[in-house]
Amino acid sequence: VAGPFLGSPRQLNRRHESDAELLRLPSSEAVLAVTTDAIVEEIAAGLYQQPWLIGWMGVTVNASDLAAVGAEPLGVLMSVTLPADASGDLLEGLRAGIGAAALAYGLPLLGGDTNRGPVLALGGTALGLVRDGRPLTRCGARPGDCLMVSGPVGLGAAHAFERMIRRSTGAVDFRPVARLREGPRLRGLATACMDTSDGLIATLDELARRNGCGFRVTAPIERVLHPEARRTALEAGLPPWLMLAGPHGEFELVFTVPPEHVAALRDATVTDGWVPQELGRVTAEPGVVRLGADPVDTGAIRNLFDEVDGNVDAYLRALMAMA
């Protein structure tokens, strides 16, 4: 619900300045992170079909927003809308997926709400805490900062391509993991952070706008692509960068790190057995995102899916025309 916000003096972020809302708690230096996200269109479009995956995703989309602000998990509440003909298998699958994600993320299931409706929908609200009161936001990147990503990207696009264009199932093993363990490690080191839930290109577009900066991605696309995305692009004869165009992404974290903090970041992450990848640099060109030397019209790509009214074939044609 857009419109004028009746803001809280406790809220640290304005709209879209961070992946989760940030609220200063009274008599404490801690900041509460809270986010609410529902999966409705994804289920309707057939992107997620197995009940287990739907449950897993309902938790994961919210967990990822906590990760991107560097919060430690407090818990999650789930709100499910069930159709009248919901089977026992559907319920069991949802529960199992929600439970597996809650366990994986150390995000206890605090409560929820069940409703009846015409179609299945799953919403969640995740709560986290930033004890030192210094959360990560989308704002703070500076020219010269190193641009990094928490892991390989493009899995979400590969999955969507398989499901929506090829209409095949099971070809891509899609079970993305939110970086809730890794996010808090970035506090004090990263200057800006955002997840890739809308695809890498949309993420870079948003970060560039928020920070009045640009990005130059110097890493070869093939090297940052998830193996499933690389294979999907190869088999379909698509240029690899299409797997970064979204709008269905995964849950890696894109973040910027001042050069003087890169060594400390390596130290902080390697102990977790986690190696963030270098993507490139933050530049002083406002709003310009370059893949190699070539500028990419990230704004146009980001809005394309809405502009073709969600028609996947038209979307792919338009995207190919941009290539």
Instruction: Give the binding site for its own copies (CB under 8 A).
Output: 1-8, 10-11, 15, 21, 23, 25-28, 30, 32, 34-41, 44, 74-75, 77-81, 91, 94-95, 98-99, 102-103, 108-119, 121, 123, 125, 127, 129, 131
Least Cβ distance, residue 44 to its own copies (angstroms): 7
Contacts 24+ apart (CB under 8 A), 103-107: 104/177, 105/59, 105/60, 105/63, 105/73, 105/178, 105/180, 105/181, 106/73, 106/180, 107/59, 107/63, 107/66, 107/73, 107/74, 107/75, 107/76, 107/180
- Nearer CB in complex with its own copies: 3/237: 3
- Under 8 Å between Cβ of 48 and 131: no
Q: How far is the CB of 194 from its own copies (least distance, A)?
A: 15
- Please report how close the Cβ of residue 302 comes to its own copies at its closest, in angstroms: 17
Helix axes 200-211, 298-307, angle to 10 degrees: 120
Token pair of 226 as six digits: 């998830």
Nearer to its own copies, 28 or 168 (CB): 28
Please give the radius of gyration of the chain, using alpha carbons only, rounded to the nearest integer.
19
Q: What share of the chain is helix, strand, coil (3-state, %, to 5)?
A: 35, 25, 40
Answer whether 123's CB lies under 8 Å from 98's CB: no
Tokens 């839930």 sit on residue: 197
Minimum gap (Å) between residue 101 Cβ and its own copies:
10
Nearer to its own copies, 118 or 170 (CB): 118
CB of 73 to its own copies, least distance (A): 9
Taking the complex as a whole, the smallest distance from the CB of residue 19 to its own copies amounts, in Å, to 10
Residues 6+ apart with CB under 8 A from 283: 143, 213, 214, 215, 216, 290
CB of 92 to its own copies, least distance (A): 8
CA distance 223 to 9: 44
Max alpha carbon distance in the chain (Å)? 58
Nearest-approach distance from CB 296 to its own copies, in angstroms: 27
Instruction: Report the residue number, 27 or 271, with the smaller CB distance to its own copies.
Output: 27
Of 267 and 307, which CB lies nearer to its own copies in the complex structure? 307
DSSP code of 276? P
Nearest CB to its own copies, comparing residues 113 and 235: 113
Please report, to the nearest 10 degrees, the dihedral formed by the alpha carbons of residues 130, 56, 248, 200 taken in order.
Answer: 40
36, 22, 9: which is closest to 139 by C-alpha?
22
Nearer to its own copies, 40 or 275 (CB): 40
If the CB atoms of residues 7 and 170 are measured against its own copies, the closer one turns out to be 7
